[in-house]
Every structure is written in structure tokens, then in C-alpha cells.
Structure 1
Amino acid sequence: MSERQDSPASNAEPVDPLRVWFRFIRLSRRVTAAVATELRELGLSIPQFDVLSTLSEREGLTQQELAARLYVTKGNVSGLIDRLVEAGLVERRPIPGDRRSHALHLTEAGAEVADRGIAAQADYVARTLGQLDETDLRAFEDLVVKWRELARADAAS
């Protein structure tokens, strides 16, 4: 990569939102690949970790609720849950009065793996994003929140 591509644009140049978008997407892919490598060492894929970490925050979700939280289809979650149940990391528990749905819970082993995955992510974030100073980190958070709100408004229109 040339020096021009590696360094941010100077303040004298107009900022091209499309260029920023592509940088953001490439960064997202790089970060995702790095975290995926660390999770593979724990025997997990990113989607499996997403399920475990979500259940570590809120156990007892149904597959439908979990799918909504992960922004995927119920069918995608179903296969993931099947594999995690087979691996002894998640269990389905009956919901009284609801014969069609089950509450999803981590097993003891699932909670341990989720904790190790969360720690691996926290270590990666500390080594990378955590190296930004407080001012830059706050500015980045503000921008991400603004962008999220614009994306939500666009989706609602």
C-alpha cells in the first residue's frame, strides 16, 4: 500500500464518504478475521460465539428472540443451536405453557467457553482500539453512534 492509502487524508483535501466507507469495511474485515482466529483456538466460529456471548448476557431467550438480537433468521439460529447443544455448550429448556418454544441456556461448559471468548475479544480490543487516547476514542464512539442513528433512520424510511 502506498503512504497515501495508509495515512488519513490531510485536512486540506475534501473527505470522500465512499473512501471512508471502504476503509471502514476493510477494517471490519481485518478485525473480524483477527478475532475469528482467536475464537478458532477456542473451537468456536464467530456465529457460535455470538450465540454464547448473547446468552451469557441474557439466558432464557427463545430461538426467535435470539435470532432478532443477532439480526439473523430463525433458521440460521436453529442450526447453530443444534450444534451447540450437541457440543454440550447450550441446552434447551421447556417453557411452561408453550409447547412450541424452548428457553436457551448455557451449560457450565458453555459459560466457561463464552467467558474465554469474551476475554479473547477484550484482549484484542485492548491491543488495538484500546491504544487510542481518550479524546480519539470518545470522538470515534460519537461518530459510530451518529452513523448508527443515520442507518436506523434510513432503515425506517
Structure 2
Amino acid sequence: MTVPADSPSPRQQLETFEPQKAALGMVFLLANQLETVGNHFLGELTSKQWFLLANLDSFFQAPPTISQVAQTMHISHQNVKQLALKLQAKGFVQLQKDAQDQRAWRIHLTQKAYAYSSARLGKDLAFLEALLNGVSPVSLDSFLATALQIHDNLTRMEGQDLTE
């Protein structure tokens, strides 16, 4: 399917929608765009693999189980395991059975993961600056407050039957 050259962009189309519909559309658009740009920027890792590593490094004092990471990332146990296996194949993590519960697997960051993070620190900060270029501190605070409220709403919705 070819889009005519004079067709409005998705952003232009969203600007004509009701604010609630536009906001929902923009969340999906931003998620897809961030993943695409992030995949290109990261090179060796996908955005989702990088996000798993960032979660391991930021939210856990000790190596977490796959289930703990799934809760933090709000994705399925199977998706975390799949990402972790790919990261293990690349040398960024090591999966080990839990000493107390042989059914559980713990995800350990490796030296390669720490070296990767250290080597990319400057590039990552430059990416963040480029991403937020022109966004005022007030707008950023407002965006964060709104995103946190939506996160809270989604967390409440996770346990509800929304099919009715």
C-alpha cells in the first residue's frame, strides 16, 4: 500500500482527533517511534533488551527472578525469559536457577553488561538530550505527572475484566 505524497502525517492526523483519542494514539506512536529510533541507536541491542538491562541495573539490589522482572516491566514471564535468553547468548546476562526454589531462574548482569553501560554513558546522555530537546522543565514535569497517572490507571485496570 502506497501513501500519497500529499497525505497528512500521523501526527497531523492525530491533531484533528478528540484529545483523549489523540493522546492514546500518540502513546502508541511514541512507543513505536522510540523503539525504532532506539534500535538504530543501540546497535548491538534492541530497545527491549536495553530496557531489561536498565531494569536489572536500576531496580534490583540482588539478581531478580524472571517473574520479578516481568512485574517491573509489565510484560509476560515468557517475554522476559525470551529477552534474557537472547541477552545471555550475547554475554550480557547469565541465567541461574534460584538456590531456594529450583523452579525459578535468576538473571545476573555480567561484566560485559556493566562495561557496555559504562562505555555508552556519554552517547546515552546525548540521546536523552536530543530526545528532550526543546522540552521545558515545566513541560517535562507535567508530562511525567501525566504519565505516572496513566501508569497508575493502567495498573488498576490490569486486574479488571475489561471485556464486559
Structure 2 length-normalised TM: 0.72
Aligned partner of 1:134 in structure 2 is 137
Aligned partner of 2:71 in structure 1 is 68
Displacement of 1:151? 2.6
Alignment of 1:25-44 (within 5 A): 25-40=28-43, 43-44=44-45
Letter in 2 for 1:108: Q
Aligned partner of 1:5 in structure 2 is 12
Q: Which has the higher contact order (CA 8 A, sep 6+)?
A: 1
**Number of equivalences:** 150
RMSD: 3.0
Change (3 A) 1:78 1:15: closer
Aligned partner of 2:104 in structure 1 is 101
Question: SS where residue 103 of structure 2 aligns?
Answer: strand
Alignment of 1:51-90 (within 5 A): 51-57=52-58, 58=60, 59-90=62-93
Displacement of 1:144? 1.7
Displacement of 1:137? 1.5
Aligned partner of 2:49 in structure 1 is 48
Structure 1 length-normalised TM: 0.75
Question: d(CA) in 2 for partners of 1:50 and 1:20?
Answer: 23
Question: d(CA) in 2 for partners of 1:128 and 1:34?
Answer: 10
Alignment of 1:13-24 (within 5 A): 15-24=18-27
Question: d(CA) in 2 for partners of 1:24 and 1:76?
Answer: 21
Instruction: Check the 8 A contact 2:14/2:25 in 1, yes or no.
Output: no
Q: Are 2:146 and 1:143 equivalent residues in the alignment?
A: yes
Displacement of 1:44? 0.5
Question: d(CA) in 2 for partners of 1:64 and 1:119?
Answer: 32
Which segments of 5 or more consecutive residues in structure 2 lack a partner in the other structure?
1-7
Q: Deviations over 1:103-133 (max 9, x none)?
A: 3211111222244566544432211225311
Aligned partner of 2:3 in structure 1 is none
